[in-house]
Structure 1
Amino acid sequence: MRDVAQLAGVSHQTVSRVINDHPSIRDTTRQRVLDAMEALHYRPNPAARALVTARSRTLGVLSTTAAALYGPVSSINAVQSAARDAGYYLAVAQLSELNAEGIAAALDHLLAQAVEGIIVIAPQELVIEQLSGAGLVVPYVTLQGGPEYDARVLTVDQEAGARAATAHLVGLGHRSIHHITGPLEWFESQARAAGYSRELEAAGLPVPPLSEGDWSAESGYRAARGLLRDTDATAVFASNDQMALGVYHAAREAGRRVPDDLSVVGFDDIPEAAHFWPPLTTVLQDFTELGRRSVEHLIAEIEGGEAPGPVSLVPELIVRSSTSPR
Structure 2
Amino acid sequence: MSSPESPRTRAPNMRDVARLAGVSYQTVSRVINNSDALRPETRDRVVAAMEQLHYRPNRAARALKTSRSRTIGVLASIRATYGPALTIQAIEAAAVKEGFYVNTAHVAETDEQSIVSAVDWLTDQDIEGLVIIAPQQRVFDTLARIDQLPPMVTLRSGLDGDPHALWVDQAAGARAATGHLADLGHQYIRHLAGPRDWIEADARMQGYLLELSDRDLPTLPPIQGDWTAEFGYWAGRQLMMGNDATAFFCSNDEMALGVLHAAHSLHLRVPQDISVVGFDDIPAAQHFWPPLTTVRLDFAELGRRCVQMLLYGRDDTTVDVEPRLIARDSSGPAHSAR
TM-score range, shorter chain: 0.7 to 0.9
CA RMSD of aligned residues (A): 1.7
**37, 47, 70: which is aligned to 1:57?**
70
Mapped pair 1:284 → 2:303: no
**Alpha-carbon offset, residue 291 of structure 1:** 1.1
What corresponds to 2:326 in structure 1?
318
- Within 2, Cα distance between the matches of 1:272 and 1:241? 9
Q: Deviations over 1:261-289 (max 9, x none)?
A: 10000000000000001000000101121
What corresponds to 1:105 in structure 2?
117
What corresponds to 1:159 in structure 2?
171
5 Å matches for 1:148-187? 150-187=162-199
Q: CA 1:106–1:285 in structure 2 vs 1: closer, same or farther (change >3 Å)?
A: same
What corresponds to 1:79 in structure 2?
91
Secondary structure of 2:232's counterpart equals helix
What corresponds to 1:231 in structure 2?
243
Asked if structure 1 preserves the Cα contact closer than 8 Å seen for 2:152 and 2:164, the reply is yes
- % identical equivalent positions: 51
**Alpha-carbon offset, residue 158 of structure 1:** 0.5
The one-letter amino acid of 1:112's match is D
5 Å matches for 1:7-156? 50-66=63-79, 68-147=80-159, 150-156=162-168
Secondary structure of 1:60's counterpart equals strand
Runs of 4+ in 1 over 6 A off after TM superposition: 46-49
**Alpha-carbon offset, residue 54 of structure 1:** 2.3
Q: CA 1:148–1:130 in structure 2 vs 1: closer, same or farther (change >3 Å)?
A: farther
- Within 2, Cα distance between the matches of 1:137 and 1:72? 22
Secondary structure of 1:236's counterpart equals strand
Asked if structure 1 preserves the Cα contact closer than 8 Å seen for 2:60 and 2:124, the reply is no
The one-letter amino acid of 2:202's match is Q
- Within 2, Cα distance between the matches of 1:250 and 1:173? 22
Q: Deviations over 1:24-47 (max 9, x none)?
A: xxxxxxxxxxxxxxxxxxxxxx96
What corresponds to 2:205 in structure 1?
193
**Alpha-carbon offset, residue 312 of structure 1:** 1.6
- Within 2, Cα distance between the matches of 1:125 and 1:136? 20
Asked if structure 1 preserves the Cα contact closer than 8 Å seen for 2:160 and 2:167, the reply is no
- Deviates further, 307-316 or 281-290: 307-316
- Within 1, Cα distance between the matches of 2:74 and 2:161? 18
Asked if structure 2 preserves the Cα contact closer than 8 Å seen for 1:125 and 1:146, the reply is no
- Within 2, Cα distance between the matches of 1:152 and 1:228? 43
The one-letter amino acid of 2:315's match is P
- Within 2, Cα distance between the matches of 1:219 and 1:195? 21
**Alpha-carbon offset, residue 145 of structure 1:** 4.7
TM-score (normalizing by structure 2): 0.78
Asked if structure 2 preserves the Cα contact closer than 8 Å seen for 1:124 and 1:145, the reply is no
Q: Deviations over 1:225-252 (max 9, x none)?
A: 2322331310000000001001112212
Q: Deviations over 1:46-95 (max 9, x none)?
A: 967721222111000111231x2001101101111111111110000001
- Within 2, Cα distance between the matches of 1:217 and 1:298? 35
Mapped pair 1:293 → 2:305: yes
What corresponds to 1:7 in structure 2?
none
- Within 1, Cα distance between the matches of 2:160 and 2:136? 13
Asked if structure 2 preserves the Cα contact closer than 8 Å seen for 1:58 and 1:114, the reply is yes
- Within 1, Cα distance between the matches of 2:65 and 2:126? 14
Count of residue correspondences: 275
- Within 2, Cα distance between the matches of 1:129 and 1:146? 14
TM-score (normalizing by structure 1): 0.80
Secondary structure of 1:118's counterpart equals strand
- Within 2, Cα distance between the matches of 1:180 and 1:95? 26
- Within 1, Cα distance between the matches of 2:168 and 2:149? 27
